[in-house]
Amino acid sequence: MTGALNGSTRPGSTLAVLITYYGERELLRECVESVLAQEGRPDEILVYDDASPHPAEDYLPEGFPGRVVRGAVNRGPCHGRNVLLREATADYVHFHDADDLFHPGWCRRVRETLAETGADVVFTEITSYRDGELLAERVLGLERLEREDLVRFCLSGSMLVPSGTYRRELVLALGGYREELWQTEDYDFHVRMAVRGPQYAVVPEPLVKIRVRAEGRSQKRIEVWTSAVQAVRLLAAEIPAEYRPELAEAAVRAGSVLYKEGALAEARDAFRLAERIGPPDYRGQRGLYRAVARTFGAEAAEWFGAWYRSLVPQGFRARLVKRGL
């Protein structure tokens, strides 16, 4: 599957894997071993140690053929990726978290796809695990890109960092990652990248394994979704007007999660932002929610939803859902 492909084929392109690390310890070793096991391994492997109290060098396989760059102060993965981006010399870069793994065929398939298409970006599907148990065979639903605009796909929050391998010049022109974002940096990065209209190719096979861990950054829900609101606010000043409805919906999604997590002030901020960008259509919500939100606002719809779930039996609610309510 390809999108907007008309670039030149570059069969000799070089490839770098850029790994950000902060205290994952033995998981880093497993990650690097999955890189080294690749057929036609990457040309560069760089690790950024974000001032971890457990230095990355203590958890690398013996004879590690790459390089570690260690920061003096913990500044988050955005800063680490930008440092590695500048340090890399390869034509293409792949950003990877230290607790995630590669399927054995990742490098070969990415190289083949780059040689065949000359794309700026190659996306591969992702498999997710928790405690060794399979959660989802295909996390992203990349088949949607056969019928969906890349910008809208990214605005829906569907793209994750380890899916992509990017032409380094493209990421440099984009300015890399926005370092003021402590979380949801992948969402902001992919939307900004998609707006630039890169030539991209899709490999629908799951070639990367992500591990969902209770102590992982993505599990800090209030922090994640508050940062998502910040990302939406930044993107609102930059993306074309045609995508503002989808961006408004993203603000509503963030507000809904924050409301359910009890972060009411943050949720209210998200809903106000959605109205300024939109107004939103609440298209991802059920009929009753949409009706209340369009009349009284999203916060009222969330309050009504909480009341409804507490008083109406689950079985009756299920029957209403079947009727589209």
pLDDT at 218: 60
The residue count for the chain: 325
| pTM of the predicted model as reported, rounded to 2 decimal places | 0.88
Q: What is the model's pLDDT at position 262?
A: 93
What is the distance between the alpha carbons of residues 166 and 15, in angstroms, rounded to a whole number? Answer: 9
pLDDT digits (tens, 9 = 90+) for 34-93: 999 998 899 999 999 999 999 999 999 999 999 999 999 999 999 999 999 999 999 999
**Which pLDDT value is given to residue 101?**
97
How far is it, in rounded angstroms, from Cα 258 to Cα 217?
Answer: 16
Rg (CA), the chain: 21
pLDDT for the residue numbered 213: 72
**Per-residue confidence (pLDDT) for residue 5, from 0 to 100:** 34
Given a contact cutoff of 8 angstroms between Cβ atoms, the answer to whether 124 and 206 are in contact is: yes
Written out in words, the top-level CATH class of the domain with range 2-215 is alpha beta
Given a cut of 70, the residues of the chain with pLDDT beneath it are 1-12, 214-219, 308-325
Q: In the block, which residue shows the tokens 């440092």?
A: 83
Q: Helix crossing, 244-260 with 298-311: angle to 10°?
A: 40
Q: Which helix (H) or strand (E) holds 230?
A: helix 221-236
With tokens 């079947």, the residue in question is 322
User: H/E element holding 283?
Assistant: none
Domain spans in the chain, listed from the N-terminal domain onward: 2-215, 220-322
Question: What DSSP string runs through 60-124?
Answer: S-TT--SEEEE-SS---HHHHHHHHHHH--SSEEEEEETT-EE-TTHHHHHHHHHHHH--SEEEE
pLDDT of residue 109: 96
